[in-house]
Amino acid sequence: MRGADRDRNAVNPGEEHIELLTAEAPRIPHLALDAQLTTEQQLAAVRRHLRYGRPLDPTAPIFNRTFAAALFDLDGTLVDSTASITRSWATLAREFGIETDLLAIGHGQPARQVIAMSVPADLRERALQRVTELEVTDVTDVVALPGSSELFTSLDNTTRAIVTSGSRLLARARLAAANIVEPAIFVTIDDVTHGKPHPEPFLRAAELLKVDPSDCLVFEDAPAGLAAARAAGCGTVGVVGTHPAEELSADILVDGLYQLRSLSAPSGGFRLQPTM
């Protein structure tokens, strides 16, 4: 058969056949990652998406204790706001001509403290107002971290609190974006004199919950927050993600709160248990 005859007799797949082939093509799962995140933060996001979890020892002392209250950090622990924070602080640095890596020196600390480390005194109030404006309006991709809402809502208002270095305005904006209900006890930088790594925020939360700080378990992702929790005498769970594991000093490390669940204790309070 000559080439022209072959062309005339070739089967035209037609639009229906092409649509069928497209519909049957394998779908490959993918995860959009923010280019502004570090490689370690991107890998942490992939691990969370896959619900990967490092092995937890069920006989670890923290799983054999009864706690009166759980104190949760917000950003990087309950909600994923890392991309928003990175964008906001990068914009601030660009607008104010700051060359210092602001997040590297002050992640987990109140904005006022971070700005005091790197911004001239006469510009600090303007810088604080600006970064607050940037962060409050940049919440479109702020979401609850995998497993965080489940663990948080498994505890009632008498045994849980949020303790954040952010302002109440910012914290409420991020909670709303992540669809997490504001708890009855909610300690922000507006409620204390000293922010993390000072223990005052966690001591204040324990006081409001009417429990001893040594009976509290803190969930934190930042070295400053974990230092504050230890100084307050609390038990600690370090959430790996915004910081690598080697930077976190805690009673136990997890890749996400999906690795943990709470069980009501017969005598009151709760006990922690690994889910996997």
- Can you tell me the distance from the alpha carbon of 198 to that of 165, in angstroms, rounded to the nearest whole number? 11
- The contacts of residue 155 (CB under 8 Å, 6+ apart) are 70, 262, 270
- Can you tell me the distance from the alpha carbon of 121 to that of 115, in angstroms, rounded to the nearest whole number? 9
Which tokens go with 115? 């700005």
- Can you tell me the distance from the alpha carbon of 132 to that of 129, in angstroms, rounded to the nearest whole number? 5
241, 44 Cβ separation under 8 angstroms: yes
Q: In DSSP terms, which residues pair with 163 in a beta bridge? A: 187
- Can you tell me the distance from the alpha carbon of 186 to that of 205, in angstroms, rounded to the nearest whole number? 8
Which one of the listed residues 7, 34, 73, 212 is annotated catalytic? 73
**Alpha helical stretches, state H, the chain:** 3-9, 14-24, 39-49, 82-96, 102-106, 111-118, 124-137, 148-153, 168-177, 200-209, 223-232
- Can you tell me the distance from the alpha carbon of 197 to that of 206, in angstroms, rounded to the nearest whole number? 16
| 57 tagged catalytic | no
Which one of the listed residues 7, 75, 190, 212 is annotated catalytic? 75
| 191 tagged catalytic | no
- Can you tell me the distance from the alpha carbon of 206 to that of 228, in angstroms, rounded to the nearest whole number? 13
Q: Please list the active-site residues.
A: 73, 75
